[in-house]
A and B are shown apart, each in its own frame.
Chain A
C-alpha cells in the first residue's frame, strides 16, 4: 500500500475515534502516531485490513496518551478499555472533518495546515517544508488550530464554500519540499467530491485538473515562466484535460453555476484550443461576464479586459481597463500587454518595467523584466 492510499484512510479513522469518545485533537495525534507506525512496519508485514489495523493502533495510542495524561494530572482514569464501536459512518465522518478543519473561526493559514494534517494525513514536517516555515512554527500553528476547533461538535453542518476556499489555497499556493501540494489538493478535492454531491466541488475539481494538465510546460527547466500563448500544447496532459472536461460538464448540467465552474469553463476553453489562434475568445469573454456577475471581483474584471482585447481588439480591452483601479495586482502587466498589441511599444515597455517592480513573485518579476527588455531592444521607427 502506498503513502497516498494510506493517507486516504486518515479522515475516516479520526472519525471513528471521535465517535468512540476521543476528542478531536487527541484523536488526530493518535492517528498520526499510528501512521508513523504503519510506514515503519507495513512494508515488512502488511495488514490484511489496513483500515482496521489503523483504527486498532490509533485507539491504543489514544488510550495510552489519555492514561498518561490523567495519571500525570493525578486524576481518575476516565477512559478504560475499548467501548463498543458505533455504527460505521465513514463517509459522513470524513465530510465533517473537512468542515471542522475549514471552520470559519480559523485563519486561512491555520485551516490549510490543519486540513493537510487531519484530512490529508501529512506530517507537520512535510507541511512546514511545503510552506517554508520552521517545523516548530508549523507545529504551533496546527496545535493552536486544534485547540480552537476543540469545542466545535463534529456533527454540525458546515458551509462547503469555506472548505473549497481552503482546498483552492492548497492548490494555488504550494511551494516546495517533498510534497506536491497541487497533487495533494486534487486528491483531497477528489475525495470530497466522492463524499458530497455538489456542483461547485465538481467545479473546483475540474478547475484543478485543467490547470494541473498544463503544469509541465508552464515553467521551463530553468524556472522561467512560459505564458499560455507560448506553451507547447502537445505536452499538455490530455488525460487530465479529458477528466476535467467531463467533471465540468456534469457539474454544468445541473444548471447551478458558481465561480469555480465558471473558472473551470474558461480553463476548458483554453485546453480545447489546439493552437493559441484557435482560442474561442468570444466564449471566454462570456464566461468572464458570468464570473464578474457571480463574484464582482476586480481580478475577474481585469482578466476579462485581456479576453476582450483578444476578442474585439486591444482598444476595446484598454477601454475595459479604464474603469479599473490601477492599484490592482497585475494591472500594469495587463495594460502593458494591451498597449503592445495596440501598437504602442514605448508605453508597453514602460508599463512592463513598472509591473516588474511590483511583481508578486520572482519568476513573474523576471518574466516582466524580459518583456520590457524585449520591447526596449527592438528598433523603433
Chain B
C-alpha cells in the first residue's frame, strides 16, 4: 500500500481542458449534482477502505515569512489572481500509482454544466514511504 495526495486547485496547473464558467453561473440543479458527486466520491473511498483524509481550504490566506529578531513576521497576501492556489485534497492509501491515477480520473469527471464532466486537472503526488524492514 502507498499513500497519495490528490490535490485540487482553485487555479494554476496546466491549461484547463474545458474552461467552464464559475459555479455560481451554473443552474442550481447542476450545482447540486456536482456537490452530490463530491459527497459520494468521499463516501465511496471510505467504503473501499482507501480514504485517509479529505480537507478543503478557503481561498483566503497569505504567504508569511520570518523578518528578523524582534520583528513581526512579514505577510504577503491575499493571493494574486494569476498564481497557483490549492483548494483541498484527498489522501488515499491504495495498492498502486495506477489506482491513484484511476481515482483522480474519477474525481476529475465530476459533473459540471449540462451534467458533462469538468475534466479538472488534479495533481497526484506520492508520499515518501517508510524504509523497508527487509532491504532488497
Q: Which A residues form the contact surface with B (CB < 8 A)?
A: 222-224, 349, 352-353, 356-360, 362, 366, 369-370, 372-374, 376-377
Q: Measured between alpha carbons, how far is A1 from B22 in the docked complex, in Å?
A: 55
Check: B39 CB closer than 8 A to any chain A CB.
Answer: yes
Q: Known: A362-B56, A373-B30. Is A356-B36 also a contact (CB below 8 A)?
A: no
Q: Which residues of B24-62 have CB atoms within 8 Å of chain A's CB atoms? A: 24-28, 30-32, 35-36, 39, 56, 58-60
A372 vs B26: C-alpha distance in the bound complex, in angstroms? 9
Could you pull out 9 A-B pairs where Cβ atoms are within 8 angstroms? Answer: A352-B24, A353-B24, A358-B60, A359-B58, A360-B58, A366-B31, A369-B24, A373-B23, A377-B28
For residue B59, which residues in chain A have a CB less than 8 angstroms away from its CB? Answer: 357
- Main secondary structure, interface of B, reads helix
A369 to B59, CA, bound (A): 14
Of the residues B24, B36, B39, B58, contact of A373 by C-beta under 8 Å: B24
Contacting pair B56 A372 (CB below 8 A): no
Residues in A neighbouring B56, C-beta threshold 8 A: 362
Q: Which chain A residues lie closer than 8 Å to B24 at the CB level?
A: 349, 352-353, 356, 369, 372-373, 376
Tell me whether A373 and B35 are in contact in the complex, defined as CB-CB below 8 angstroms, given that A353-B22, A358-B60, A362-B56 are known contacts: no
Interchain CB contact under 8 A, B23 and A369: yes
Whether B31 lies near A370 (C-beta < 8 A) is yes
Partner of B39, one of A223, A352, A357: A223
Decide: A373 and B26 in contact? CB cutoff 8 A: yes
Query: Residues of B within 8 Å of A, CB-based: how many?
Result: 17
Q: How far is the CB of B29 from chain A (nearest CB, A)?
A: 9
Chain A contact surface mostly? helix
Q: Which residues of A contact B22 (CB under 8 A)?
A: 353
10 A-B pairs besides A349-B24, A357-B59, A374-B28 with CB distance below 8 A are A224-B35, A352-B24, A353-B22, A359-B58, A366-B35, A369-B31, A373-B25, A373-B27, A377-B26, A377-B28
- CB-nearest residue of chain B relative to A359? B58
B58 touches A358 (CB 8 A): yes
Interface centre among A359, A366, A373 (most CB of B within 10 A): A373
Q: How far is the CA of A331 from the CA of B23 in the complex (A)?
A: 21
- Identify which of B25, B35, B36, B58 contacts A376 (C-beta below 8 A): B25
B32 to chain A, nearest CB (A): 7
Contacts of A223 in B (CB 8 A): 39
Q: Whole-angstrom distance from the CB of A336 to the nearest CB of chain B?
A: 11
Report how far A248 CA is from B5 CA in the complex, Å. Answer: 50
| Mask of B1-30 contacts with A, CB within 8 angstroms, 1/0 | 000000000000000000000111111101
CB distance from B31 to the nearest CB of A (A): 5
